[in-house]
Amino acid sequence: MNEQTIICGKCDSEIGSDSDYCPECGALFVNDVFCRRHKNDLASGVCVICGEPYCSGCLNSVNNIYLCHAHEEIEIFQGHAKIASGDNIYCRYLIGLLTENDFHPFLYNLMSSAHTPISLAGQSFNIFDVRGNNVNELKVMVPFDEFNEALKFLEELEESGEIDG
Ligand SMILES: [Zn+2]
Ligand SMILES: [Zn+2]
Ligand SMILES: [Zn+2]
């Protein structure tokens, strides 16, 4: 294994120098890779969730991070993707199960996240309140590269009735 690192020119993350793409933003460092869906089109990036290369037409850039159309709706935050949401008890239960099974989940709380209230007509509003989101909802996030496995794990738990879907 090559332990050397390089800095991604797109997102400034430090990544292994033997990577073909940046796992943080999906920037592609090799130019002879073709789109997974269009065999004749060169890939312009890699979806950070599935790790598959795609052409520009098959990719969406969300906060400067590449996602394929199958994964563009998934909420992402600092190298992590949302796998589930719910109340405190449910999320902590899931995190316990995921941790026991060698995943690295973390709990994302809108209340504790850094966001600035916006000002409308002289009054301050919390931006999440304005949009009508439930500020008490917690989110379970896992690293991008654990997303697919963690999703499969949760689906199996749902099928076995251990958690509610
Ligand atoms: Zn990057
Ligand atoms: Zn994808
Ligand atoms: Zn394509």
How far is the centre of ligand 3, averaged over its atoms, from the C-alpha of 125 (Å)? 41
- pLDDT value, residue 142: 96
105 and 151 housed in the same domain: yes
CATH (domain of 106): 3.30.70
Q: In the chain, which residues have pLDDT < 70?
A: 1-2, 110-136, 165
Same domain for 90 and 17? no
- 65 and 130 inside one domain: no
The structural domain count of the chain equals 2
Write down the H helix ranges in 61-146: 88-100, 127-130
Instruction: Say what the pLDDT of residue 78 is.
Output: 84
Q: How far is the CA of 46 from the centre of ligand 3 (A)?
A: 11
Per-residue pLDDT, 57 = 97
Quote the CA–CA distance of 91 and 110 in Å, as a whole number. 14
Asked if residue 165 is part of any domain, the answer here is no
The per-residue pLDDT for range 123-165, each reduced to its tens digit, is: 444 444 444 455 567 899 999 999 999 999 999 999 988 877 5
Distance between Cα 7 and ligand 1 center (Å): 8
Same-domain check for residues 20 and 45: yes
Q: Which of 24, 41, 73 is the last residue of a domain?
A: 73
Q: For position 95, what pLDDT does the model report?
A: 95
d(CA 138, CA 120): 27
Domain boundary among 73, 98, 126: 73
Nearest-angstrom CA–CA distance, 96 and 103:
10
Ligand that comes closest to the CA of residue 39:
3
Q: Could you say which ligand is closest to the alpha carbon of residue 42? A: 3
Same domain, 65 and 117: no
The last residue of a domain, from among 40, 73, 106? 73
Domain residues for 59? 1-73
pLDDT for 112: 47
Distance 139 CA to ligand 3 centre (A): 31
**What's the gap in Å between 145 CA and the centre of ligand 2?**
11
